[in-house]
Amino acid sequence: MDSINLVESFSEFKEFKNIDRERMMRILEDVFRSMLVKKYGSDENFDIIVNIDKGDLEIWHNREIVEDGEVEDPTTQIALSDAIKIEPDFEVGEEVSESISISDFGRREILTIRQSLVSKILEYEKDNIYQKYKDKVGEIITGEVYQVWRREILVLDDEGIELMMPKSEQIPSDFYRKGDTLRAVVLKVEMRNNTPQIVLSRTSEIFLQRLIEAEVPEVYDGLITIRRIVREPGQRAKIAVESYDDRIDPVGACVGMKGSRIHGIVRELRNENIDVINYTANSNLFITRALSPAKIVSIQIDETNKRAEVYMKPDQVSLAIGKGGFNIKLAGKLTGYEIDVYRDTDVDSEDVDLTEFADEIEQWIIDQFKAVGCDTAKSVLDLSPEELETRTDLEMETILEVIRILKAEFE
């Protein structure tokens, strides 16, 4: 194998891997110098000239000419009789530069050189990818779906770099085929077995935040601040926003005229319901806004334990809890309080608290109903068995038995 073939083969490698010319030259020189050290013990008396564009690589061995029989170090000295074979005009004391062919290294050394080059170039490529995406954590990127597996999706960016999106980072209703284009945020970048792993996410709160920044110039410019974001991917999201300029309505700016700004984000998130509310330091008001669209009668807050007891009319309880319990769950995350919803007892004096049935219904079952705002007998009976099954973790058989017990109380 000659020098031209060797360098040309890695010029092609460079082209595919987008390694810059100077870096490729340094890698080639480093590899050959390592080989010279192994063969000659030192690389100090050697010049390596690499021309990637032309596919040329030259190695010159520089030695001082000494009298015959006075050579002490063949790496740094050459006998006069050997020097005049290269150029007849040479004299003792001069320096001679002799070209070394790659074929002089031998087949085994050449294979070692190739392996070292491949190893170093791949190492550089991996480091390059790691550094590039490390700076992009938190940014939205667009990629093409290359492979779909049960637990993850392989995505290629515009440079052909492989990115991974685990099932846990996909919106439940996401469905992709090979060749589809997707948008996601770079969640994290880490090295595993010396290989960069770039993880994408569509369920992260950061993804929603970046989408808002892209759609709402006031947020991107800092006129409106996103104080908190909580999500149940594909179901519901709540965003608390604040403006330091009284002339700007933060909620109106985020939603846009007739919802023009928020609609694009909702479509991207597979019709995820997005509630945008004004942030406030007033806990009572913040909880009231977080439970919207439900109307609240009164609130009792325990600051020590970060709990809030919210009382409302019976017809508002289901609104406060929301489909699947997502509304109250997200309201709690957004405000930082454990929220318990109760029906206003003044509304129906004939109702019976669930705790009155403790002798017939186990306490853990009662707690399940209370967790979703059903703290009285009628509040349970107002809902269908199917809806109770959706909101709680109870089995249908248990729910039907509870309903039978409660109905018996009013018959």
Convert 34-54 to b/e letters by CB count within 10 Å (16 or more is b).
ebbeeebeebebbebebebee
Beta-carbon count within 10 A of 360 CB: 12
How far apart are alpha carbons 320 and 296 in whole angstroms?
Answer: 9
Sheet strands side by side (includes 307-312): 298-302, 307-312, 338-343
Number of DSSP helices (H) and strands (E) in the chain, helices first: 15, 15
Question: Domain spans of the chain?
Answer: 3-132, 136-203
Handedness of CA 373, 377, 382, 385 (dihedral sign): positive
pLDDT of residue 342: 86
Instruction: Please give the Cα distance from 126 to 279 (Å, whole number).
Output: 43
**Residue 149's pLDDT is what?**
94
Q: Which residues pair with 195 in a beta bridge?
A: 192
pTM of the model: 0.66
- CA distance readout (Å), 271 to 172, 263, 267: 11, 9, 5
Return phi, psi of residue 83, to 5°. -65, -40
Tokens (6 digits) for 336: 């930082």
pLDDT per residue as tens, the chain (411 positions): 344 455 555 555 545 455 666 777 777 778 888 888 887 787 888 888 776 666 567 788 888 888 888 888 888 888 888 888 888 888 888 888 887 777 667 677 777 777 777 777 788 888 889 999 999 999 999 999 999 999 999 999 998 899 999 999 999 999 999 999 999 999 999 998 888 999 999 999 999 999 999 999 999 999 999 999 999 999 999 999 999 888 899 999 999 998 999 999 999 999 999 999 999 999 999 999 999 888 898 899 999 999 999 998 877 888 888 888 899 999 999 999 999 988 775 544 567 788 878 878 889 998 888 888 888 888 888 888 888 888 888 899 999 999 998 888 776
DSSP string for residues in 194-231: TEEEEEEESSSHHHHHHHHHHH-HHHHTTSEEEEEEEE
* Predicted local distance difference test score (pLDDT) of residue 136: 94
Per-residue pLDDT, 10: 52
Q: What is the pLDDT of residue 106?
A: 67
3-class DSSP state of 375: coil
* CATH (residue range 136-203): 2.40.50.140
- Cβ contact 185:140 at 8 Å: yes
Domain 3-132: give its CATH code.
3.30.1480
Domains 3-132 and 136-203 share a fold: no
pLDDT at position 124 is 81
Per-residue pLDDT, 1: 39
Spatial distance between the Cα atoms of 339 and 287, rounded to a whole number of angstroms: 9
Cβ atoms of residues 311 and 343 within 8 Å: yes
User: Are the beta carbons of 49 and 58 closer than 8 angstroms?
Assistant: yes
| Identity of the amino acid at 339 | I
Neighbours of 93 (CB within 10 A): 10
